């Protein structure tokens, strides 16, 4: 096995169950605007396109839209509150650390490619004691591009010291499947994340329902004929 083989992960809904703290921050912003809170169970599907889009979706629930300058203000308020509470209730999905250990033992490089801001991603992973496991942690602001633009995945792999031809993507939603397809990378979908469209309908190469299935799924895709 070459050490350039790389597994790239989405963050929210794939590595970490961040919904409780994200929706808490959303509801903080909505409450300040005099709007009712969004229930956690129904808001999980809103996550994944970044803070600004999450706020827009939260406003849409109540049929509200705001001017661009107000959306910018709300996004700033959201990020300030979220950063202060980023790991209050967010936790790695069950079995994650054992799965990462297994991949590392097999010689894989690990990286994060998320539409979250890079500094928030690093802050979260630092608080959870996970940052050191990843050769690169890249967000929507790292290269100025977001998923599903394939350039963000290619540049994340390059920063991790990997090769795009020996990479597997792991994610929970449309942007992850899209970025992998556009970059020509096989993709594993996780069934426990956040998505408006059921992950199976997005047709990833493989689906897993628990992190204990991850290593075998990665090996299967890496060994498959290209």
Tens of pLDDT, residue by residue over 41-92, are 888 888 877 789 899 989 988 888 888 899 999 999 999 999 999 999 999 9
Question: Is the peptide bond between 148 and the residue preceding it cis, with omega within 30 degrees of 0?
Answer: yes
**pLDDT-based confidence at 1, cuts 50/70/90?**
very low
Distance between CA atoms of 213 and 190, rounded to whole angstroms?
A: 10
Other beta carbons within 10 angstroms of residue 54's beta carbon come to: 24
Radius of gyration in angstroms for the set of CA atoms belonging to the chain, rounded to a whole number: 17
Q: What percent of the chain has pLDDT over 90?
A: 82
CATH level 3 topology of 6-17+90-223: Rossmann fold (3.40.50)
Q: What is the pTM of this model?
A: 0.93
How does DSSP classify residue 37? P
Is residue 126 packed enough to be buried (19+ CB in 10 Å), middle (13-18) or exposed (0-12)? middle
User: Backbone phi, then psi, for 109, in 5-degree steps?
Assistant: -80, 145
Say which CATH class 19-84 falls into: mainly alpha
What are the sequence ranges of the domains in the chain? Answer: 6-17+90-223, 19-84
3-state secondary structure of 57: helix
Alpha helices in the chain (DSSP H): 19-32, 40-43, 51-61, 68-84, 96-105, 118-127, 150-160, 174-183, 214-223
CB–CB of 29/97 below 8 Å?
A: no
Q: Which two tokens stand for residue 186?
A: 């096989």
Torsion sign (Cα): 18, 21, 24, 25: negative
Q: Is residue 70 annotated as part of the catalytic site, yes or no?
A: no
User: Backbone phi, then psi, for 224, in 5-degree steps?
Assistant: -70, 145
User: pLDDT of 193-222, one tens digit each?
Assistant: 999 899 999 999 999 999 999 999 999 999
State the catalytic residue, choosing from 10, 12, 149, 205. 10
3-state secondary structure of 222: helix
User: pLDDT of 111-141, one tens digit each?
Assistant: 999 999 999 999 999 999 999 999 999 999 9
Torsion sign (Cα): 175, 180, 181, 186: negative
* 3-state per-residue secondary structure call for 2-14: CCCCEEEECCECC
């Amino acid at each position: 096995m070459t050490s350039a083989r790389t597994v790239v992960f989405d963050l929210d809904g794939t590595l970490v169950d961040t919904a409780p703290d994200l929706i808490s921050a959303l509801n903080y912003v909505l409450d300040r605007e005099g709007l009712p809170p969004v229930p956690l169970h129904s808001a999980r599907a809103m996550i994944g396109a970044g803070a600004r889009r999450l706020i827009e979706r939260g406003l849409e629930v109540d049929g509200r839209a705001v001017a661009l300058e107000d959306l910018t203000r709300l996004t700033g308020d959201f990020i300030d509150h979220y950063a202060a509470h980023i790991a209050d209730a967010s936790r790695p999905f069950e079995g994650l650390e054992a799965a990462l250990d297994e991949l590392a033992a097999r010689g894989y490089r690990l990286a994060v490619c998320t539409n979250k801001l890079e500094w928030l991603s690093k802050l979260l992973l630092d608080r959870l004691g996970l940052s050191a496991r990843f050769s690169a942690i890249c967000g929507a602001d790292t290269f100025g591009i977001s998923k599903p633009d394939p350039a963000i995945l290619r540049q994340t792999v390059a920063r991790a010291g990997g090769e795009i031809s020996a990479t597997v993507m792991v994610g929970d939603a449309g942007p992850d499947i899209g970025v992998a397809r556009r970059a020509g990378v096989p993709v594993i979908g996780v069934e426990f994340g956040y998505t408006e469209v059921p992950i199976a309908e997005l047709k990833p190469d493989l689906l897993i329902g628990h992190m204990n299935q991850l290593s075998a799924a990665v090996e299967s895709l890496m060994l498959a004929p290209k």
